Amino acid sequence: RKEVEQDPGPFNVPEGATVAFNCTYSNSASQSFFWYRQDCRKEPKLLMSVYSSGNEDGRFTAQLNRASQYISLLIRDSKLSDSATYLCVVLTDNYGQNFVFGPGTRLSVLP
């Protein structure tokens, strides 16, 4: 079983739609959680951290369920510019030694 699993997609949604991505992780000792965004043929960039209490950044909402070892990302009012691959990332220690990346979920927002 992979350490971090995501539905690869693609998710094809119209502009303005709400879309949700899920991610599961296997290591119950995981410390920190993040969503990164990767545009085609570009480097990944941090989108947002994920906190136990849930957190929101504009149209983006991230949730963590430690009991179920499950992370989610919700995007409201999708824009064409949201088209990208979204990577779920789990940090298994706080010294930066082990960032484990999921394979990514591809999103295409259509006009």
Partner 1 sequence: EAQVTQNPRYLITVTGKKLTVTCSQNMNHEYMSWYRQDPGLGLRQIYYSMNVEVTDKGDVPEGYKVSRKEKRNFPLILESPSPNQTSLYFCASLLTSGGNTGELFFGEGSRLTVL
| CA-closest candidate to residue 19, choices 94, 107, 111 | 107
The footprint of partner 1 on residues 16-35 (CB under 8 A) is 32, 34
Using the rule CB under 8 A, is 53 a contact of partner 1?
no
- 44 near partner 1, judged by CB under 8 A: yes
Verify binding: residue 45, partner 1, rule CB under 8 A: yes
Using an 8 Å Cβ cutoff, are 109 and 83 in contact? yes
Chain contacts with partner 1 (rule: CB under 8 A)? 4, 8, 32, 34, 36, 41-46, 49, 87, 89, 91, 94-99, 101-104
